[in-house]
Amino acid sequence: MSAATLDEYQIDAAAMAGYSMLWAGVADVAASGIPLCWNAPGVPEAFPQFQHSLVRVALDAATYLSVRDDDSRSLLLDVHPDANIDVILDTAWDIPILWSNVELDDAYRQVVQGRTDRTIAIHLNERYLGLPEAEVASCLDDIGVATDSTPLLLALGPCHGDDRLAMRVARKMVSSPIVIDHPSSLREIVACLSRSKAYLGSSMHGFITSMAFGVPALNVASQKVVKFAGLQRLLGSRTICVQTWSEARDWASSLDGAGNLPPEINTRLDAHWSRIADSVKSPQQRQIPAVEGLNEAILAATFQDLVGRFRKQQMRLKNLTKS
């Protein structure tokens, strides 16, 4: 239930509860008999005690519950041990079915505009940068040379400032990268990822999309993060994650990381879509939990979360002052 930083969320308190409204705030639709399905989201961390009652309401309201990894399921069961939660996979693995090759080829051509024959897709996130921007820029130049490709910087998360970061790093590069700081559509993003020689970045969905198309991919992030740990368990012993862009540069020289995907991906996702279809076509009568005042409760819980974060920052500043 963290706060969001998108400009579009600065209206009607959406900045405080925009993300949580996506999963907890919609629980009140169950009161009108509308089927409510969870499409395999992830849970990044444990819920604080003051949010437990809201999480239980959201879980009880759902017709069908699914998450993308075992850790996410465990974090929810810590709050509601009786919840019936399926572990599927991230549904982005199915993204190749959305567009034809002709549509993606056309979108990619519109991006590169004849400036290069080969690109390597790059995504930067401030949280996982790990090095000064000038050093990252140098690593990206080296990656372009090692792969005989033009670096294509994709800003996939504007709420994290990815667009501004991509522009800053690009200005420090000497290899004339292509920068897509404001992608025009999901199809454009998928075209860039699927038609590039490889993907290196800090977006899990950038990684999944690339791998789903058979493109070698590498995460530059912490493998301790729940979502990346879940990917590692799914894909086995292959290297899927490194900590720094200097390590990513070394990996790019061999482009290890493609290959066959586990066949269970298609099997488990097919079963998931069937469950969702059944839930929508034949909703079962069930006892709907009370959800009156839910949105107000979400705002209150989110505010309490912000207060806690503010106090932690205060303590850090005090410790810095003392040192």
Query: What's residue 286's pLDDT?
Result: 60
**178 and 300: one domain?**
no
Of residues 153, 175, 174, 150, the one with CA closest to residue 162: 153
Distances (CA, A) of 170 to 71, 106, 282, 314: 36, 25, 52, 34
**57 and 202: one domain?**
no
**83 and 97: one domain?**
no
Query: What's residue 196's pLDDT?
Result: 97
**99 and 163: one domain?**
yes
Range 136-147 average pLDDT: 96
**190 and 231: one domain?**
yes
**114 and 252: one domain?**
yes
Query: What's residue 130's pLDDT?
Result: 86
Label residue 16 by pLDDT band (50, 70, 90).
low
Domain count, the chain: 2
Domain assignment present for residue 226? The answer is yes
Label residue 237 by pLDDT band (50, 70, 90).
confident
Domain assignment present for residue 16? The answer is yes
61: left (phi over 0), alpha (psi -120 to 50) or beta: alpha
Tell me the residue range of the domain where 65 lies.
7-88+268-322
pLDDT in tens, 152-210: 999 998 777 899 999 999 999 999 999 999 999 999 999 999 999 999 999 999 999 99
User: How is residue 65 written in tokens?
Assistant: 């519950």
**28 and 144: one domain?**
no
Query: Which amino acid, one-letter code, is at 306?
Result: L
Label residue 268 by pLDDT band (50, 70, 90).
very high
Kindly report the CA angle at 126 between 118 and 233, in degrees rounded to 5?
A: 75
Query: What's residue 222's pLDDT?
Result: 84
Which of 256, 287, 311 represents a domain boundary (last residue)?
256
Pairing of strands 119-123, 150-154: parallel
Three-state SS letters, 102-126: HHHHHHHHHHHCCCCCCEEEEECCH
Which of 202, 227, 256 represents a domain boundary (last residue)?
256
Distances (CA, A) of 143 to 16, 149, 314: 39, 8, 40
pTM for this prediction? 0.84
**133 and 185: one domain?**
yes
Q: Is 232 exposed, middle or buried (0-12, 13-18, 19+ CB in 10 A)?
A: middle
pLDDT in tens, 66-76: 999 999 999 99
Quote the mean pLDDT of the chain: 85
User: How is residue 116 written in tokens?
Assistant: 């290069």
Question: Is a pLDDT exceeding 80 seen at residue 256?
Answer: no
**80 and 198: one domain?**
no
